[in-house]
Amino acid sequence: MPNPQNQTPMIALRGVTKRFPMTLANDHIDLDIFGSEIHALLGENGAGKSTLMKILFGFYRADAGEIQLNGKSITIRSPRDAHEYRIGMVFQDLNLIPAFSVAENIALFLPDLKAVLKPQEIDERINEVSKQYGLEVNPRALVSQLSIGEQQKVEILKLLLSNARLLILDEPTRVLAPHEVEALFGVLDNLRKDGYAIVLITHKLKEVLECADRITVLRGGRVAGSLLRAEATEEKLVALMFEKELSGLKIAEPKRDEMSTPVLELRGVETYVEGAGMSLKGINLQIRPGEIVGVAGVSGNGQKELCDVVLGMELCVRGEKYLFGKNLTNRPVGAMRKNGVSFIPENPLAMASVPFMTVLENMALTQTWRYARNGGFAMDWGVVKADIQQTAKRLEFPVNFYTIAKSLSGGNLQRMVILREMTHDPRLIVASYLTRGLDVQSALAARQALIQAREGGAGVLLVSEDLEELFTLSDRLLVLYGGRIVGEFKPPETDIYQVGHLMTGSKVEHVANG
Amino acid sequence: MSQTAKTFPRVSLSNPLVNNLIRYLLMILLALLLFGIILLVTGKDPIQSYRDIFSATLGSTYGFSEVLLAMIPMLLTALAVALPARVGLINVGGEGQVYIGAAFATWGALAFQNKPAWILLPLMTLLGMIGGALWAFVPGYLKSIGLVNETIATLLMNSIAPKIVGFLIFGFWHSPMDTVKTDNFVSAARLPTFFDTRVHLGFVFALVLLALFWFIMKYTRWGLEMRAIGGNAQAARRNGIPLKGYLVTVMCIGGAIAGLAGMAQVSGFYGVLLLNFSMGLGFMGFLICWLAGGDPIGIFLMSFVVAVITTGGNLLQLTQGLPYAVINILLALALFVVLASPRFFEGKKA
Ligand SMILES: Nc1ncnc2c1ncn2[C@@H]1O[C@H](COP(=O)(O)OP(=O)(O)OP(=O)(O)O)[C@@H](O)[C@H]1O
Ligand SMILES: [Mg+2]
């Protein structure tokens, strides 16, 4: 392993091996993590990144191998031990208590927490550290009211105040908007200067090349290679990550008939949401067959509600919803599904899958009526498998039907949901953060699948914060702000800056066509 | 990097059924041990007590049949909890549903007493189930529209049901001789019994329903959908599974099964509707279901154990002069041991 400074690593992993009932997740992994460095961990979905870091954090026990701290061998049996050794981790799905304030969440992890809390003192300590590293948050705010980006900051603050020196961040940028990513990297840069060691798991190569000092690529549970940033290029990393070369996105011109009945039409739709959440106001929207309509917006501006209204989860208090000219306003989700509506939600674990069921069972859930036999007294699992396998072949996603959904890696779970929702030739696909958590190759395949669906005449509603993705895929682009559509463009007629402006609410008066 | 031969995936040697059996046995032993200590402290002879319990239950054909008899309402009321639990509903209302089911069945028995058994019994069965289902519909519906938590609603309705039964008995149905019960049912309104025992057809009902429950959960479309709702209600709804429909239906079916227990008690066991006849059957079912973790085989085993304890306990009162409450201590101990067991018997997490 390259080590030009010739110093002892803060943490060294030697021969770490972890086997799960069905998979060898980590296979004799060696890894060096140095202080004052950002170490990026790359690898395709299911390569074993999260597992390796959970071992380091004491969440799993390795079957074999050794962990060294500053050259001395240590045993980490639990997150509590990891705490002792000043190792901290932010999980793939954040782990804060929503009903608690920021200060309370952080206080829970203070190593020197007193029996009687002194809120004033805790606030001060938080403020001190947050100023130092540019992690400003209001300690008194409730976590449930924070954006994902702010919650991310709280997680990092929590680690810093608990005295961690090694910070493990599992896909922190997955849910962040571009400007939030910038801010996060600024913070990481400050931390690096102060001697912290940082492990950053991500699927975005640009980010890696932008901020990492050292890059390790895992493949199939083994180390495929380890590079210093100076040696790394995007091509080299991709070659290490995948067996196959990446092909570009093949975008065929869809044949579209502007006069045909829209796949989906919303006429003056309004919703009413209590508490947190954004009510939709006066939404008019048409999606033609063979059209991808992108929805840009900072999350929390009505994206979730828009998708839910289309799916039938949320009621329209005013307005109508038509599917192929048929009025389906406020019909239940089942009716929408039967009419060919597919849904890829922003959070596959909470919103799309049943954690303790097998992948196969999960695959049948949206179409139970289709697979029921003998009037419902039996299920035809063979056909479920055949259907899914066909899609899996097309997208080149691996599937293992008999694993429990909960034990899938983050990206594999997303792939499972995409597979299911792309089967049965959906006529309308509602996709929210389609490529969240996917590796480069899978993200490409998922986008390709949308394009294929468009060629087949399906309509697509694509919600994303990734403007680049929206500009590449969309035929038409809407901007959602405060529950209204504040802009509508054809991608060639606009640019990222104009859309970015609208997303943050400036220039609202200028467009106002909703 | 060293090259090691990849080992095959580990195959678990212990199959879950054997595992569970061992678990139950250990639980029972532990509970017996603790109870033995209590007996010793009160100056009774635990060995003799256990010998008495044994001979009164498993030691003779008659004793054994009494155990089976006691199991009938337990199996049914436990099932009435287990089914709703699969979709995440906590039905604490078995007790009330038993009463209303019994009342409906009794109305059938009294109103149509000159009909032959082959009409009367199916009618009473149906009425009993309808009664229980109606009683469960109220909390099920309130839950489905998000108004009232079903645990609270079912619990509160438990105290209403016996009053309704009381009102019916005092007001309309009581026999000329006795105000706390109805006339004895005509023989056509009695569930047939097997051989020379008191075990009645309700036992077959319970076994069939238990098997059906297992089959439906494992193999059918509805089982799959119910497990999805229980596993992640939000995802199930987004996948197009009709959540509200299931909540109401499943609650009603649970109630119907408890209602059937009530029917079986009045028609099979007592042959008459008595004031306060249930004495906590519904709660016993709840206890058994949770002891068994909602699993059909577990429900059968736990019902058996509890039935042995209660039947044997009846005898213990006579021979050892122990108050019946002591039996509740033994039951409570069993519960205690089971609740502690997950930590106790499970290995460390993966
Ligand atoms: N608790 C578990 N039980 C069984 N298998 C597991 C468990 N956790 C992970 N696995 C398996 O181990 C493999 C590696 O998973 P891991 O979560 O480490 O992947 P990853 O590299 O983080 O992928 P992603 O980029 O998708 O998050 C996967 O095949 C996964 O299914
Ligand atoms: Mg992961």
Q: Which of A51-65, A150-164, B69-83, B246-260 has the lowest mean pLDDT?
A: A150-164
Q: Which of A275-279, A438-442, A494-498, B140-144 has the lowest mean pLDDT?
A: A275-279
Name chain A contacts of B239, Cβ cutoff 8 Å.
333, 337, 352, 365-366
Rounded CA-CA distance A148/A158 in Å is: 15
Q: Which of A85-89, A120-124, A317-321, B218-222 has the lowest mean pLDDT?
A: A120-124
Order across the sheet with A72-74: list the strands: A24-33, A11-19, A64-69, A72-74
Predicted complex: ipTM over 0.85: yes
Rounded CA-CA distance B226/B234 in Å is: 13
Rounded to the nearest angstrom, the distance between the alpha carbon of A200 and the centre of ligand 2 is 11
Asked if the model's pLDDT at residue B165 lies above 90, the reply is yes
> Does A345 sit within 8 Å of B232, measured CB to CB?
no
Name chain A contacts of B236, Cβ cutoff 8 Å.
354, 365
Question: Strand, coil or helix: what is A37?
Answer: strand
Asked if the model's pLDDT at residue A3 lies above 60, the reply is no
Residue nearest to ligand 1 atom 2, measured at CA: A407
Q: Tell which of A242, A276, A298 closes a domain.
A: A242
**Closest CA–CA distance from residue B143 to any residue of chain A (Å):** 18
Check: CB of residue A38 under 8 Å from CB of residue A212. Answer: yes
What atom in ligand 1 is closest to the CA of residue A414? Answer: 26
Flag whether A248 is in a domain.
Answer: no
Beta strand A292-296 with A341-344 is: unpaired
What was the pLDDT predicted at B1?
A: 35
Residue nearest to ligand 1 atom 6, measured at CA: A407
Nearest by Cα to A291 from A491, A432, A483 = A491
Check: CB of residue B181 under 8 Å from CB of residue B273. Answer: yes
Please give the residue that has the higher pLDDT: either A482 or B55: A482
Rounded CA-CA distance B183/B7 in Å is: 73
Rounded to the nearest angstrom, the distance between the alpha carbon of A25 and the centre of ligand 1 is 6
Rounded CA-CA distance A321/A284 in Å is: 10
Mutate to test the interface with A, among B145, B239, B241 (most CBs of A within 10 A): B239
Please give the residue that has the higher pLDDT: either B25 or A142: A142
Give the number of domains in chain A.
3
Which of A223, A354, A372 has the CB atom closest to B228's CB atom? Answer: A354
**pLDDT above 70 as % of chain A:** 96
Asked if the model's pLDDT at residue A328 lies above 60, the reply is yes
Could you identify the residue written with the tokens 């059968």?
A: B300
**Closest CA–CA distance from residue A194 to any residue of chain B (Å):** 33
**pLDDT above 90 as % of chain B:** 60
pLDDT tier, B135 (very low <50, low <70, confident <90, very high otherwise): very high
Looking from the CA of B141 toward its CB, the CA atoms found within 13 Å total: 6
Dihedral, CA of residue B205, residue B208, residue B214 and residue B216, to nearest 10 = -100
Q: Which of A7-21, A449-463, B32-46 has the lowest mean pLDDT?
A: B32-46
Which ranges constitute the DSSP H helices of A163-268? 178-193, 205-211, 234-241
* In a shared domain, residues A89 and A191: yes
Rounded CA-CA distance B292/B21 in Å is: 11
State chain A's maximal CA–CA distance in angstroms.
Answer: 72
> Does B241 sit within 8 Å of A361, measured CB to CB?
no
Rounded CA-CA distance A55/A109 in Å is: 20
* In a shared domain, residues A134 and A185: yes
What atom in ligand 1 is closest to the CA of residue B350? Answer: 1
Q: What is the pLDDT of residues A471-482, one digit of tens each?
A: 999 999 999 999
Rounded CA-CA distance A321/A335 in Å is: 13
Check: CB of residue A441 under 8 Å from CB of residue A242. Answer: yes
* In a shared domain, residues A70 and A215: yes
Asked if the model's pLDDT at residue A188 lies above 50, the reply is yes
Rounded CA-CA distance B160/B167 in Å is: 11
What was the pLDDT predicted at B166?
A: 94
Contacts of B335 (CB under 8 A, 6+ apart): B287, B291
**Closest CA–CA distance from residue B121 to any residue of chain A (Å):** 28
What's the mean pLDDT in B146-158?
Answer: 92
Check: CB of residue B70 under 8 Å from CB of residue B311. Answer: yes
The CATH number that applies at residue A82 is 3.40.50.300
Asked if the model's pLDDT at residue B345 lies above 50, the reply is no
Check: CB of residue A374 under 8 Å from CB of residue A453. Answer: no
* In a shared domain, residues A333 and A232: no
pLDDT tier, B339 (very low <50, low <70, confident <90, very high otherwise): low
pLDDT tier, A255 (very low <50, low <70, confident <90, very high otherwise): low
DSSP code of residue B174: B
Ligand number with the minimum distance to the CA of A60: 1
**Count of helix runs (H) and strand runs (E) in chain B:** 13, 0
Flag whether A255 is in a domain.
Answer: no
Q: How far is CA B204 from CA A36, B68, B75, B212, B311, in A?
A: 73, 11, 11, 12, 20
* In a shared domain, residues A288 and A363: no
The CATH architecture annotation of domain B16-343 reads: Orthogonal Bundle (1.10)
pLDDT tier, A28 (very low <50, low <70, confident <90, very high otherwise): very high
Ligand number with the minimum distance to the CA of A359: 1
Pair of tokens at residue A402:
């008999």
* In a shared domain, residues A202 and A117: yes
Flag whether A368 is in a domain.
Answer: yes
Q: What residues of chain A have any CB closer than 8 angstroms to a CB in chain B?
A: 15, 19-22, 24, 28, 30, 60, 222-223, 311, 313, 332-334, 336-338, 343, 345, 350-357, 361, 364-366, 368-369, 371-372, 376-379
> Residue A340, exposed/middle/buried by CB under 10 A (0-12, 13-18, 19+)?
middle
Which of B222, B238, B241 has the CB atom closest to A376's CB atom? Answer: B222
Which ranges constitute the DSSP H helices of A78-117? 79-84, 102-107
Name chain B contacts of A19, Cβ cutoff 8 Å.
7, 10
What atom in ligand 1 is closest to the CA of residue A439? Answer: 25
Mutate to test the interface with A, among B224, B226, B246, B349 (most CBs of A within 10 A): B224
Give pairs for A485-493: CB < 8 Å, separation 24+: A485/A283, A485/A284, A485/A285, A485/A513, A485/A514, A486/A511, A486/A512, A486/A513, A486/A514, A487/A511, A487/A513, A488/A513, A491/A294
B218 lies within 8 A of chain A by CB: no
B231 → chain A, closest CA residue? A354
Flag whether A253 is in a domain.
Answer: no
pLDDT tier, B194 (very low <50, low <70, confident <90, very high otherwise): very high
Flag whether A346 is in a domain.
Answer: no
Asked if the model's pLDDT at residue B61 lies above 50, the reply is yes
What was the pLDDT predicted at A6?
A: 63
What's the mean pLDDT in A325-344?
Answer: 95
Contacts of B182 (CB under 8 A, 6+ apart): B106, B110, B169, B173, B174, B175, B272, B273
Q: Tell which of A242, A277, A311 closes a domain.
A: A242
What was the pLDDT predicted at A131?
A: 87
> Does A368 sit within 8 Å of B235, measured CB to CB?
no
Neighbours of A127 (CB within 10 A): 15
Asked if the model's pLDDT at residue A383 lies above 90, the reply is yes
> Residue B29, exposed/middle/buried by CB under 10 A (0-12, 13-18, 19+)?
exposed
pLDDT tier, A36 (very low <50, low <70, confident <90, very high otherwise): very high
Please give the residue that has the higher pLDDT: either A498 or A321: A321
Rounded CA-CA distance A76/A55 in Å is: 8
Rounded CA-CA distance B154/B144 in Å is: 14
Nearest by Cα to A335 from A344, A323, A345, A325 = A323
The residues that bridge with A88 in the sheet, in sequence order, are A167
What was the pLDDT predicted at B348?
A: 32
What atom in ligand 1 is closest to the CA of residue A43? Answer: 21
* In a shared domain, residues A31 and A78: yes
**pLDDT above 70 as % of chain B:** 91
Per mean pLDDT, which of A130-134, A380-384, B49-53 is the most reliable?
A: A380-384
> Does B219 sit within 8 Å of A379, measured CB to CB?
yes
The domain locations on chain B are: 16-343
Check: CB of residue A238 under 8 Å from CB of residue A269. Answer: no
Q: Which of A378-392, B7-21, B34-48, B302-316 has the lowest mean pLDDT?
A: B7-21
Could you identify the residue written with the tokens 């060096």?
A: A32
Within 6 A (CB) of ligand 1 lie A 20, 23, 25, 43, 45-51, 407-412; B 350
What's the mean pLDDT in A122-135?
Answer: 87
Question: Strand, coil or helix: what is B241?
Answer: coil
> Does A334 sit within 8 Å of B241, measured CB to CB?
yes
Flag whether A247 is in a domain.
Answer: no
Please give the residue that has the higher pLDDT: either A150 or A287: A287
What was the pLDDT predicted at A254?
A: 66
> Does A355 sit within 8 Å of B221, measured CB to CB?
no
A366 → chain B, closest CA residue? B239
What was the pLDDT predicted at A167?
A: 95
Asked if the model's pLDDT at residue B346 lies above 50, the reply is no
Mutate to test the interface with A, among B7, B226, B238, B246 (most CBs of A within 10 A): B238
Residue nearest to ligand 1 atom 1, measured at CA: A407
Please give the residue that has the higher pLDDT: either B150 or A95: B150
What was the pLDDT predicted at B16?
A: 64
Give the 3-state secondary structure of B185-197: CCHHHCCCECCCC
Ligand number with the minimum distance to the CA of A218: 1
Give the 3-state secondary structure of A395-442: HCCCCCCCCEHHHCCHHHHHHHHHHHHHCCCCCEEEEECCCCCCCHHH
Name chain B contacts of A369, Cβ cutoff 8 Å.
221
The chain-wide mean pLDDT, for chain A, equals: 89
Which of A15, A30, A355 has the CB atom closest to B232's CB atom? Answer: A355
Asked if the model's pLDDT at residue B192 lies above 80, the reply is yes
Rounded CA-CA distance A38/A188 in Å is: 8
- CA A420 to centroid of chain Cα atoms: 18
Residue nearest to ligand 1 atom 22, measured at CA: A50
B217 → chain A, closest CA residue? A377
pLDDT tier, B13 (very low <50, low <70, confident <90, very high otherwise): very low
Which of A60, A352, A377 has the CB atom closest to B238's CB atom? Answer: A352
* In a shared domain, residues A453 and A361: no
* In a shared domain, residues A402 and A293: no
Nearest by Cα to B299 from B25, B29, B67, B75 = B75
Please give the residue that has the higher pLDDT: either A276 or B187: B187
Q: Tell which of A423, A456, A477 closes a domain.
A: A423
Rounded to the nearest angstrom, the distance between the alpha carbon of A92 and the centre of ligand 2 is 6
Contacts of B191 (CB under 8 A, 6+ apart): B121, B200, B201, B202, B264, B267, B268
Contacts of B72 (CB under 8 A, 6+ apart): B199, B200, B202, B203, B206, B261, B264, B268, B269
Q: Which of A88-102, A261-275, A287-301, A470-484 has the lowest mean pLDDT?
A: A88-102
> Residue A264, exposed/middle/buried by CB under 10 A (0-12, 13-18, 19+)?
buried
What atom in ligand 1 is closest to the CA of residue A52? Answer: 18
Flag whether A199 is in a domain.
Answer: yes
Asked if the model's pLDDT at residue A281 lies above 50, the reply is yes
Neighbours of A336 (CB within 10 A): 22
Contacts of A81 (CB under 8 A, 6+ apart): A58, A75
Dihedral sign (CA A242, A244, A247, A250): negative
* In a shared domain, residues A105 and A143: yes
**Closest CA–CA distance from residue B9 to any residue of chain A (Å):** 6
Check: CB of residue A226 under 8 Å from CB of residue A212. Answer: no
Q: What is the pLDDT of residues B101-115, one digit of tens each?
A: 999 999 999 999 999
What is the span of the domain harbouring residue A56?
4-242
A22, A42, A50, best to mutate for ligand 1 pocket (most atoms within 8 Å of CB): A50
> Residue A437, exposed/middle/buried by CB under 10 A (0-12, 13-18, 19+)?
buried
Q: How far is CA A153 from CA A120, A126, A133, A205, A439, in A?
A: 20, 11, 10, 22, 24
What's the mean pLDDT in A481-507?
Answer: 86
Beta strand A87-90 with A166-170 is: parallel
B7 lies within 8 A of chain A by CB: yes
* In a shared domain, residues A237 and A286: no
> Residue B13, exposed/middle/buried by CB under 10 A (0-12, 13-18, 19+)?
exposed
What was the pLDDT predicted at B15?
A: 60
> Does A28 sit within 8 Å of B224, measured CB to CB?
no
Q: What is the pLDDT of residues A421-438, one digit of tens each?
A: 999 999 999 999 999 899
Rounded to the nearest angstrom, the distance between the alpha carbon of B278 and the centre of ligand 1 is 52
* In a shared domain, residues A290 and A272: yes
Q: What is the pLDDT of residues A204-250, one digit of tens each?
A: 999 899 899 999 999 999 999 999 999 999 999 999 999 877 777 77
Asked if the model's pLDDT at residue A256 lies above 90, the reply is no
Dihedral sign (CA A176, A180, A184, A186): positive
> Does A223 sit within 8 Å of B231, measured CB to CB?
no
What was the pLDDT predicted at A273?
A: 82
